[in-house]
Amino acid sequence: MFPFNWSGEHTRRTREHIIEEMSLNFLERKVLERGHQLVPATKREYGYDATMFHFSPETGEIENGEVRFQLKATDRLDTEAEFAICPGIEIRHLHYWYWEAQKLPFVLVLYDAMRHRGYWVDVRRHIDDVLTG
């Protein structure tokens, strides 16, 4: 009757799924603490995970511009290493963040789930300062 092999196996929630959501929660709390708004991307496979809209601290009015974020989460971040390596960044995503993301500020956040800490880099500035200059 069914056109597939029903094994009775259920979808499982992995640790990767959990820490991915924890990273978004971590970032959203930081953004909200400063009076701004973080909106998760509806289609996160397009190279960014959330957009921040900022508001004036004095008036509460929305300000021009926005900031895009890509989140990466891990349980195994070696903070003693000279450079923390961010897992799983594809060149096509770097290209999109640098050239095509509407010239908005683009921030890569590496979330350390074991220590509940985030480390960030302004992608465009990093490429300009470190990789090309």
Q: Which pLDDT value is given to residue 61?
A: 95
CA-CA distance, 93 to 109, in Å (whole number)? 14
Q: What HEC string does the chain produce? A: CCCCCCCCCCCCCCHHHHHHHHHHHHHHHHHHHCCCEEEECCCHHHCCCEEEEEECCCCCCEEEEEEEEEEEEECCCCCCCCCCCCCCCCHHHHHHHHHHCCCCCEEEEEEECCCCEEEEEEHHHHHHHHHCC
Q: In the chain, pLDDT over 90 holds for what percent of residues?
A: 45
Q: Whose CA is closest to 28, among 44, 52, 46?
A: 52
Note the pLDDT tens digit of each residue in 23-77.
999 999 999 999 999 999 987 666 789 999 999 989 999 998 899 999 999 998 8
Amino acid identity, position 123: V
Lowest mean pLDDT among 70-74, 83-87, 114-118: 83-87
**Segment 101-119 mean pLDDT:** 87
* pLDDT at residue 1 is higher than 60: no
**Segment 7-32 mean pLDDT:** 91
Q: Which pLDDT value is given to residue 98?
A: 77
